[in-house]
Amino acid sequence: MSSTGNPDYRDAGLEFPAGFVFGSATAAYQVEGAAHEGGRGASIWDTFSRVPGAVVNGDTGDIADDHYHRLEEDLDLMAELGLQSYRFSISWPRIQPTGRGAANAEGIDFYSRLIDGLISRGITPTVTLYHWDLPQALEDEGGWTNRDTATAFAEYARIVGHAFGDRVAMWTTLNEPWCAAYLGYGSGVHAPGRQDPVAALRAVHHLNLAHGLALTALRETVTNSPEFSVTLNVHALRPSGPTGPEAVRRLDALGNRAFTGPMLNGEYPADLLEDTAAITDWAFVLPGDLAAIHQPIDLLGVNYYSTSLVRMPEDTDAAYDRAGATWPGSEHVEQVPQAGPFTAMGWNIEPSGLQELLELLAERHPGLPMMITENGAAFDDVPDDDGQIHDDARTDYLRRHITAVHRAMDAGVDLRGYFVWSLLDNFEWALGYTKRFGIVYVDYNTLERTPKDSARWFAELCRTKRLPD
């Protein structure tokens, strides 16, 4: 399958099937705040955001959107927008302050109220177990480089499975383990800020293991019949010039197949092991691990923002600096600057990349339904004199990407839903509060929420299942 067709992706009037889910997504550390309340323990982002220079402006998630205290207001907002589902993550250190031991009742109570509040408003909870806020106490023991973190994660999954496993319709184990492993332990731009290629690859494996063990723990504890999934930021890679295909192969191995391989096929790709052989022999993959990771899932969650254009360097024999590499073993692959337009993140806007990616995944994993668990854009939103936010660029971005989703479905891809990132402007990791992704504007002085024009547009889509004009 290949994507062709109208390159502008500015359709209107497209109809989506009645069962197709439109929702929006957030993550605990990015919105909750109340970082030192309700018995919550410290996470690696509490620690990392206090490292001088790690986060723009020294911003932290201490207050964030104060969603923890504004739960009812935010639930009402979701209902007003007509979201069919809300994708949120559970903060592990709110449930187990040190990552081990008994559940913190206040943490259970908070998520229980959130889940009940959603259900009573007719909104389906889509729950992610891990969106990067590892309990600091586990990082002190090696974090994701330590195999015990994967077994601790399974215990945490068991606790939340017991607590909420009668009400949650969709469970997602991990959000973007690529970021957790390579940005957390390779480049160090995310918490815990380590720069060690071996650590990054160990983290890849232990996150994969955590995914498999958590699925088993959830299946043993839930009492309803939910769906199970994982969310990956599958990289949409495009080749530049004659060496492009080799560069694509390498980053696809490290960035995509390092996760889909063990999770969906029960093995690490041979070329991945070869590309990284100078770094590690992968002896941390123990007998039985691959079987533990290779558990059935009902859906693959895909996060998509933009494409990468890549090629190999002219001198492939040169010595490359491995310390701080985002792509250990393929640190020399070159990212070629792309044509715009760009979002405020500097990411190129390329809806055809989403269609291409979905078609590629459908070809690689036949019979596995998919869901867009994140897609959206940051722009420098400024309220008008009337206090309203006329974010036409965001609406245009959403329209084009939702058009791409529809075209992929027309081409035969089994897609079940689309979640816009994000419901609210929030703490954008190392970029702090400088990047606004919300369809709802948050005034960080007053914490007042104002739906942007894009929110109204999206609400109409949720209501009609038809791409608005």
Residue 273 or 344 with smaller CB distance to ligand FCB: 344
- The answer to whether 40 and 94 are in contact (CB under 8 A) is yes
Helix ranges (DSSP H) in 99-196: 105-120, 136-139, 147-164, 177-178, 184-185
Residues 269, 254: Cα–Cα separation, whole Å = 9
Residue 86 or 268 with smaller CB distance to ligand FCB: 86
Q: Which residues bind ligand FCB (CB under 6 A)?
A: 27, 30, 175-176, 179, 233, 303, 374, 421, 428-429, 437
Supply the minimum distance, in Å, between the C-beta of residue 370 and ligand FCB.
16
Report the catalytic residues.
176, 374
Closest by Cα among 242, 289, 290, 236 to 264? 290
Q: Give the 3-state secondary structure of residue 370.
A: strand
Residues 154, 48: Cα–Cα separation, whole Å = 25
Supply the minimum distance, in Å, between the C-beta of residue 212 and ligand FCB.
21
Residue 27 or 108 with smaller CB distance to ligand FCB: 27
Supply the minimum distance, in Å, between the C-beta of residue 311 and ligand FCB.
24
Q: Give the 3-state secondary structure of residue 208.
A: helix
Token pair of 235, please?
């990289």
Supply the minimum distance, in Å, between the C-beta of residue 429 and ligand FCB.
6
Supply the minimum distance, in Å, between the C-beta of residue 274 and ligand FCB.
28
Helix 453-464 / helix 392-410 crossing angle, nearest 10 deg: 30
Residue 405 or 420 with smaller CB distance to ligand FCB: 420
Residue 262 or 301 with smaller CB distance to ligand FCB: 301
181-212: burial string, b at 16+ Cβ within 10 Å, e else? bbbbbbbbbbbbbbebbbbbbbbbbbbbbbbb
Q: What's at 327, amino acid-wise?
A: W
